[in-house]
Amino acid sequence: MLRATAFVFSAVLALAACQPTNQQAPLGADGLPLPKVYNITAREAAVIPQRVLESVNSLRSVRGLAPLTLNAALTTAALAHSKDMAAQNRPWHWGSDGSSPRDRVARAGYPGTYEGENLSETYETEMETLSSWMSNEVTRDVILDPRATQMGFSWYQEPSGKIWWTMVTGS
């Protein structure tokens, strides 16, 4: 009996060794790995805006810029535009009603001056998206605009997992 158990155990170990150890991500029709879906849970949703604000302020601090504060009206404008981009299925600065970022900020009740807007259509996390924005001069300039004093940040996640991120700054 002991011999049979040892044989079965050895056979299982041998078969386990035959399994590939570095399985590749599934590939899409284009031959590229399918994106890993970042599902935003209610717990994550509660901390994302503050986490982005802290990261943005760290980036600004290194350059001697004043920190931003979160603004509810700017966040409302960001959320509305994230949902609208998803409905249009394209990341761009114009609303389906022809509105500009400045129009949307005013419509949301922001009493200050619109300064800039960053957008992203992705499966990436908010930190990966912020990193991507920092690697591009145009979007980096929105984050590091010395005139900006306030920020709105929001997103819309489709059932497929695709996320439409929007950051709006104002002063």
Report whether 156 contacts 79 (CB < 8 A).
Answer: yes
For the chain, domain boundaries: 42-89+98-170
Percent of the chain with pLDDT over 70: 84
pLDDT digits (tens, 9 = 90+) for 64-122: 999 999 999 999 999 999 999 999 998 889 898 999 999 999 999 999 999 999 999 99
42-89+98-170 adopts what CATH topology?
Pathogenesis-related Protein p14a (3.40.33)
> pLDDT at residue 61 above 70?
yes
The per-residue pLDDT of the chain, averaged, comes to: 87
Report the distance separating Cα 66 and Cα 57, nearest Å.
8
Record the pTM.
Answer: 0.79
Q: What are the tens digits of pLDDT across the range 149-163?
A: 999 999 999 998 999
